[in-house]
Structure 1
Amino acid sequence: MKVVFIGDIVGNVGRDAVKRLLPWLKDKYQPHIVIANGENAAGGRGINAAITRELFEWGVHGITMGNHTWDNRDIFEFIDSEPRMVRPANLPPGTPGTGSAVIKVGNKELAIVNLIGRTFLPPADCPFRTADDLLDELRRKHKCILVDFHAEATSEKIAMGWHLDGKASLVVGTHTHVQTNDERILPEGTAYVTDAGMTGPRDGVLGMDRTTVIRKFITGLPARFQVAETKWILSGVFVDIDEATGKAVKVQTIRVDEDSWIPS
């Protein structure tokens, strides 16, 4: 099974990149399933129903979230009825939505799990114990499993990769918006990348207007960040999974910017 994972979509610039490049990505990588992190898709904070529909209409099959899940209150109106969207599974019991789902496209099935880290992020239940419980259950019926670990600290992400080696097909980090150059297949067959990177404004600071961010660093004063209006970059990960075993046979990062992309 071939899967493309699109890193954190940031604002209208990121959405435009997805809309433009999805046909190209599908032609180049021939994915059976496309998953995207959408927690910054609406103005850099959260997601709404209209954007969710757009992403699915363009060809995304599943959406993962993160620490900005609840920033747009519109999400409370649809998250419980949208089976293709997952929020961090290690949030408290009773939280709207679900932390795992099975994405079905034709005769292909991919279980997806969303977790959030605890280092430098708001309090959450233990992602490691939550992962153990969820994957033990999912592995009874599904061999192909993707885990989006939305975390700040690289050490926490790397630890999760090793913790889930042989239990997940792909452990991909999100949240920092900076793609890492460490994609590999771990000894027990789990593909791992510390961070998939960002899909959004290339020339901002993590997708935000750089002038405002620089001013805040210099002055220390509060500032309202806005999504930068610059050329786009699309970042993500491609993984090829042996459906018989659930082990990855290939993993490759994806990085395309507006200046280098040649429309086909």
Structure 2
Amino acid sequence: MRLLFIGDVVGRAGRAIVNERLPGLIRDWTLDLVVINGENAAGGFGITEAIYNEFIDAGADAVTLGNHSWDQREALVFIERAPRLVRPANYPAGTPGRGAALVDTRTGKRALVINMMGRIFMDPLDDPFAVADRELNACPLGEAADLVILDMHCEATSEKQAMGLFCDGRASLVVGTHTHVPTADHRILPAGTAFISDVGMTGAFDSIIGMAKEEPLQRFQSKISRARFEAADGTATLCGIAVETDDKTGLATRIAPVRLGGILDEAKPAFWGQAAV
């Protein structure tokens, strides 16, 4: 099976390139599953119901969130009627929505999508490792699910790497999100789980992690907030990670970064013809 995870979509520029490129990628690469991190999709802060539906209409099978889950207050309500919108599973009990979702692939297989948030330099939530263990035990790869994707949304690369190794052999893909800067450490771990520390963002890379440059620059220099952050306009790059899995085990056999359009375009239309990494 072939899956594509698209990194943190930021603002209008990020949404535009997803809408433009995703349908063709699904067709040309015969993708079975597409997951998008959409927590910055509404002007850089949160997600709205209209944007969630836009992603689903473009071909996304699930949308994950993170620390900006509730920046758009309507998300607290509409998440209950959005079965493929997944917020961090280690939020406190009683938080609206779900931290994991079992969705159908285009070929009728079952994919478990889990969202988790780290605790280093972030809000002190429940233990992500204990919660991940619970979710993986409840829906084991190769038994209750044909694919398992875990979005580890956090600051520290060490925490992301630890989660990858913790899930090795029990997940098809553990993908790091949140820092918006793509890393070069994509690989298949010893027991067969595909991993990358940060998939990168989908948005205008002529920016500071997706935000228009002026306000972050002056804040770093003066420590004074003069205006709110605004998502950057301009040509966007779509950053993602593509994984091919073994049909029998659900574990990864190939992995490669996807960086299309804009500054980071690597012009790799024949991804599935590349050698395994």
| Residues in 2 aligned to 1:9 and 1:130: alpha-carbon distance in whole angstroms | 25
Task: Tell me what 1:130 maps to.
Answer: 131
What's the CA shift string for 1:99-131, capped at 9, x where partnerless? 000111341221100000000111100000100
- What TM-score, normalized by structure 2, do the two folds share? 0.92
| Residues in 2 aligned to 1:243 and 1:115: alpha-carbon distance in whole angstroms | 25
* Residue 74 of structure 1: how far off its partner (Å): 1.0
Q: Which runs of 5+ in 1 are unaligned?
A: none
SS at match of 2:18: helix
* Residue 23 of structure 1: how far off its partner (Å): 2.6
Match of residue 163, structure 2, among 160, 163, 168: 160
2:234 is the counterpart of 1:230:
yes
- What TM-score, normalized by structure 1, do the two folds share? 0.96
- Match of 1:178, as an amino acid? V
2:193 is the counterpart of 1:216:
no
* Residue 144 of structure 1: how far off its partner (Å): 1.4
Percent identity between the two aligned chains: 44
2:191 is the counterpart of 1:207:
no
| Residues in 1 aligned to 2:86 and 2:68: alpha-carbon distance in whole angstroms | 13
Conservation of the 8 A alpha-carbon contact between 2:109 and 2:146: no
Change (3 A) 1:165 1:184: same
Task: Tell me what 1:175 maps to.
Answer: 178
| Residues in 2 aligned to 1:90 and 1:261: alpha-carbon distance in whole angstroms | 36
Q: Structure 1 runs of 4+ off > 3 angstroms?
A: 259-262
Task: Tell me what 1:113 maps to.
Answer: 114
Provide the alpha-carbon RMSD of the alignment.
1.5
Conservation of the 8 A alpha-carbon contact between 2:26 and 2:59: no
Instruction: Count how many residue pairs are aligned between Structure 1 and Structure 2.
Output: 263
Conservation of the 8 A alpha-carbon contact between 1:29 and 1:238: no
| Residues in 2 aligned to 1:187 and 1:96: alpha-carbon distance in whole angstroms | 36
| Residues in 1 aligned to 2:166 and 2:185: alpha-carbon distance in whole angstroms | 17
Conservation of the 8 A alpha-carbon contact between 2:8 and 2:36: yes
| Residues in 1 aligned to 2:73 and 2:87: alpha-carbon distance in whole angstroms | 14
* Residue 81 of structure 1: how far off its partner (Å): 1.7
| Residues in 1 aligned to 2:193 and 2:126: alpha-carbon distance in whole angstroms | 24
- Match of 2:139, as an amino acid? L
